[in-house]
Amino acid sequence: MTIDPMACQFAEAERLDAEGMYDPAFEHDACGVGFVAALDGKPRRDVVVAGVDALKAVWHRGAVDADGKTGDGAGIQVQIPQGFFKEHVERTGHETGEGRLAVGMVFLPKTDLGAAEVCRAIVESEILNFGYRIFGWRQVPINSAIIGEKANATRPEIEQIMIANEDGINDHQFERDLYIIRRKIELGVREAQVADFYICSLSCRSIVYKGMFLAEQLSAFYPDLLDERFVSSFAIFHQRYSTNTFPTWKLAQPFRMIAHNGEINTVRGNTNWMKSHEARIGHDAFAEHLDVIKPVIQSGSSDSAALDSVFELLVHAERSVPLVKTMMIPEAWADNADLSEEVRDLYLYCNTVMEPWDGPAAIAASDGRWVLAGMDRNGLRPMRYSQTRDGLLFVGSETGMVPIAEQDLVHCGRLGPGQMIAVDLAEGRLYKDEELKEHLAAQQPYSQWVGNITHLDTLVEAQDGTEHLFDLGDLKTRQRAASYSIEDLELILQPMVETAKEPIGSMGDDTPLAVLSDQYRGLHHFFRQNFSQVTNPPIDSLRERRVMTLDTRLGNLSNILDQDESQTRILQLQSPVLTNAQFQAMRRYMKDSATVIDCTFDAGRDDENALSDAIQRIRQESEDAVRGGCEHIILTDEATGPDRVAMPMILVAGAVHSHLVRQSLRTFTSLNVRSGECLDVHYFAVLVGRRCHHGQRLSCRGRHRRTAPPRSVV
């Protein structure tokens, strides 16, 4: 008896999905990725050949089914060979003209002819409604005999639609129109409730050929890639190796702009932040079509697909590919003395605009103008490059993907943590890491813009001391009210105060799970750390100062598509955990723009709705404050006393945040917490970690201590 691993995997997927235990957010990758580019930016046949050969060389980075033919997915993105497609169009009796034609690579339902026809009608109507002419559909030649049974069973119908640009619209505007058209098509298909539809690419610059097959099968499955007329100035390739995920045709990479090896560990927080940002997104490029591009990240997207969705939005909002990579996946710059002041100011500006997408990442990206490879701040995925005398640049997960004679090599090396290498195809120019960052830093007066940033430390230095909030007796009473024990004070608080380090215990934790305990347990005990998957080592900002920081900010939750100095009018904090002195300085900075909300409820109420009524009150007060122009909300349990009971701040902060998100108000205010419950590192981590799960930006402090609060890792 033989066991089919992939069949078992699909069966398990169906079982988990039926039981509500599978989530597409589990999708992660550890793949092979790279690109080949002509340094002069001119299309060449050998670029496509080298891209296909490089992909075949990283076959070992993908998984193979028991049938030996079905794979996790592989693909290639190349420049649209205009001559190849124009010849096809002219054979059908159309005049193509001088301008670029656009091509859409479309996956249609294969087994439901009616649904496929509905999809074609939606595609055609949206293109025509935007004022463009359609040359027609092309059945993509494929060789289905070479792929495995599983891949063939789920294979979509693969067709291309060709679109004319007869009004002389420049390529940049044409590309943006095609992006909006694609989003309109996707919306129409969702409303028609048609499954198994996917647009791999819709562009006048590039096209994606991909599928659920082995890397070595790519050019055999798609004979187009073997045609001598198929030329390109670049080729991005990707071999998928999925972990905790199930292979599908649409999840094969490259996506529309990127190919990604690694995992975005912060994807849940980044996705939720994007939902919050959507309320204020705006750009002249999208005009009246803003509602069509929302949600930016489609439900069920993998971490790589989510990254690609935001990446292409920022590119279409007139940011270059290198700048978007710098913004989304920055290097660790704060303590890097090798960076020039101008580049540091560039990173400081990017930090004020949006949250980094963090995790092991090696990406290859292109918008048809730029082709780029870049690394995450830790450099936890490999990326090597070789430059040849005949004007080609090879970048990929391994060296030697394509055999190159030693005498033909001009230079070879590897990308380190946070580094990039790119080719400007329009200028025909190679940019290495340092030169590229200096080039980006010179695009705008970033050094002038970051002068608007206010640093909290400068405000603290300007004030006269700190008042004690409570006398010793009141302090002890409040500690008891927050469920502090002698053991907590001796084993947790004292070591942190005396050594400024997290207390260390045994690796094993034999404490009963909070949900099973018959004793009161703080709400933070019900949370467990969600560890990274696969090979990612645990790191923190104290032991890894070179690549991590606790720096956070208050302000600039406005339009992430803007590019001006107003985005840098923020308050910069070195940590989200504040001392009394820091909080008082921050409070003076906020002036009348802050609203304080009491997070206690009447101790005399003994009905079961007391807590829920209090939560609803706090939500409503927060909403009213933001609608009234409040820029900062301070949630506090200072009123705790004989007649007032404090609510768990984790519960309150999550409730207020989620309510403001639903009301599209979250990006108009910051959330700040003053709580007597915050004692150990785990509580701070859970409270600040709500940002990762629900998109919150919090400033937290322990107000009950007369000594300095502990340093904590969050």
Cite the active site residues.
31
Residue type, 446: Y
List the structure tokens of 424: 């400007």
Whole-number Å distance between alpha carbons of 218 and 215: 6
Whole-number Å distance between alpha carbons of 208 and 522: 51
Q: What angle do CA 53, 79, 387 make, to 5 degrees?
A: 50
For residue 138, give the H/E element and its range: strand 133-139
Q: Which string of b and e fits 97-111 if b means at least 16 CB within 10 Å?
A: eebbbbbbbbbbbbe
Relative orientation angle of helices 649-662 and 267-277, to the nearest 10 degrees: 50
Whole-number Å distance between alpha carbons of 185 and 198: 10
213, 156 contact by CB (below 8 A): no
Rg (C-alpha) for the chain, rounded Å, is 28
Question: At 557, phi and psi to the nearest 5?
Answer: -110, 35
For residue 400, give the H/E element and its range: none
3-class SS letters over 175-192: HHHHHHHHHHHHHHHHHC
37: how many CB neighbours lie within 10 A of its CB? 32
421, 433 contact by CB (below 8 A): yes
Cis bond upstream, residue 709 (ω within 30):
no
Secondary structure (3-state) at 513: coil
Residue type, 81: P
